[in-house]
Amino acid sequence: MGDVVPFRRPSTAEKHAGNTLCRRGFHKWEVVQDKQFDVREGKLVTIYRCARCGKTRVDAS
């Protein structure tokens, strides 16, 4: 007695179910707005959003 094996709870994994790829950096990017003029950048940018986790990314063209 005395040896307690730490048991990993699956709750975190369940929360992020389907986002495993996202957490690894493999997002499912979808174009939200193509060739939008970004005033701050002063040029055309394309806005992407991940279909899984909702993270957004702006790509300057």
Q: Provide, rounded to whole angstroms, the least separation between the CB of residue 1 and Zn ion.
A: 45
When asked if residue 29 is in the footprint of Zn ion (CB under 5 A), the reply is no
When asked if residue 22 is in the footprint of Zn ion (CB under 5 A), the reply is yes
Q: Which stretch binds Zn ion (CB under 5 A): 6-14, 31-39, 46-54?
A: 46-54
Beta bridge partners of 31: 48
Compute the distance between CA of residue 45 and CA of residue 37 in angstroms, rounded to an integer. Answer: 6
The alpha carbon torsion through 43, 36, 19, 12 (nearest 10 deg) reads 80
**Where does this chain bind Zn ion (CB under 5 A)?**
22, 27, 50, 52-53, 55
